[in-house]
Structure formats: C-alpha cells, structure tokens
Structure 1
C-alpha cells in the first residue's frame, strides 16, 4: 500500500512540475522517455577527433545507459521482442560520440509521460 501511495505521490509531483516547464523541455523529456523505452530509432556514432574518422556506428532502438561515466559509455539496444544487447565503450580525450534520432517522433507538449512497469516494482524472483 505504501508503494502505491508513493507512486501516486510521484505522479502528482511530476504533473505539478511539468505544468511549470516550457514546451521544449516537456517535448525533450517525452522524447527521452520514449527512447529509454526503445521506441525511438537512433544512430550512435563514435568519432576520433585526431584522425577525423568514424570508429563505430550503432543503429537501432537504442538507449544511452544513464549510469555511464565520463570515460565509459553503455548503450542498450532492443534487438527482438524480449532480447537486448548492451555495449560498453571507452571514451578518451580524442574520442567523442553523438546520438542521432533517425526519424521524427510525436511528442505532446501538453502531456507529460509517466511509465509504470509492474516488473520493476515487483521484480521476478529467482530461487537457487
């Protein structure tokens, strides 16, 4: 019951805070949420600033892992209905990356997106 109340409180706070945001910020947050839910087709390119060449390109329904650091980047891609791949890449002072959204996506500036996933609230339990 307390988890439900906490979740409802979070929704109310998100709705109140979204009313104070400008349109660009709400659209950006909604696009980021869609990308994190593997709904946005992206291209991630790693570029060597010294040689001027692309080192690696990843394309698909991919999300940047928010736990990445300034020297390590993790990209998670959905490759099937319940299949995912996670790529780890090292960054240096001469290697950078950019993430390109390949197709336009609808983003409603009047609606703030909140996604509840029961599997996150009540995880699967594995007994060994």
Structure 2
C-alpha cells in the first residue's frame, strides 16, 4: 500500500507539472502551492468597479477556495495552529477583487514542490 501511494504521488506530480515549460511557470506553481498550504501572507481586496471604493479587505495566510465560481469567491484564512476562517463574497459586473502577495517568498526554479498529506488519503471518520 505504501509503494502504491508513493507511485500515485509521483504520477500526480508529473502530470500536474508537465505544463511547466519555463522558470516562471515553475516558480509560479511553487508559489501557488505554498499559498494553498497557508505559507504566503496575502491581501485580498474586493472593490466596486463603478465607484472605485474598497468594499472588503482580508489579510493573512489566505488561499482562494476551490468552491469559488464566476459569481462567488471563497477565501480561507489560517488564524491559528488549527483554526481557519472562510469568507464568501458575491461577484458581479461591478464587484471584483485582486489578491496581492505581501511578502517575498523563496520559489526555486530548479525544483518542483510536491506536498504529500497522508491525512487527506485517510480522513477522520465521524459516526453519528
């Protein structure tokens, strides 16, 4: 089972990174992976495109959630060792956002970053 998991992780890494053609692609992928693991300090600003006013600003170790759509943005922020907050905002023709990386982060252009989390493969099971 351990050997199968390692082979699967390697195959996923190869497929996921096969589109990285240059140094900028590799660095971008590594920064995105770090941000998705709450290692990058970010500022997310929602603003009204008609008035130019900021509606909401979120700062911290934040990542764009996979449940986001064209009309809804979900942001998850790590607020403590095992504490997270999830924020939602509706998007429209006059409401948009930008995500800013606040601090520089090291991103190797020679090495791909692969994160293996066994807790995702064998999740906690709750019986009700």
What TM-score, normalized by structure 2, do the two folds share? 0.90
Q: Is residue 113 of structure 1 aligned with residue 125 of structure 2?
A: no
Q: Which residue of 2 aligns with 1:124?
A: 124
After TM superposition, the structure 1 stretch with the greater mean CA deviation from structure 2, 65-74 or 7-16, is 7-16
Q: Deviations over 1:36-82 (max 9, x none)?
A: 00000000000101111111000000000122100000000000000
Q: Which residue of 2 aligns with 1:28?
A: 28
CA contact (8 A) 1:18 1:112 kept: no
Gap regions ≥5 residues in structure 2: none
Q: Which residue of 2 aligns with 1:11?
A: 10
How far is the alpha carbon of 1:118 from its aligned partner?
1.1
Change (3 A) 1:4 1:94: farther
State the alpha-carbon separation in 1 of the partners of residues 51 and 20 from structure 2: 45
After TM superposition, the structure 1 stretch with the greater mean CA deviation from structure 2, 18-27 or 68-77, is 18-27
After TM superposition, the structure 1 stretch with the greater mean CA deviation from structure 2, 5-14 or 66-75, is 5-14
Q: CA RMSD in A?
A: 1.9
State the alpha-carbon separation in 1 of the partners of residues 79 and 20 from structure 2: 37
Q: Which residue of 1 aligns with 2:77?
A: 77
Change (3 A) 1:20 1:55: closer
State the alpha-carbon separation in 2 of the partners of residues 69 and 121 from structure 1: 26
Alignment: residue pair count: 127
Gap regions ≥5 residues in structure 1: none
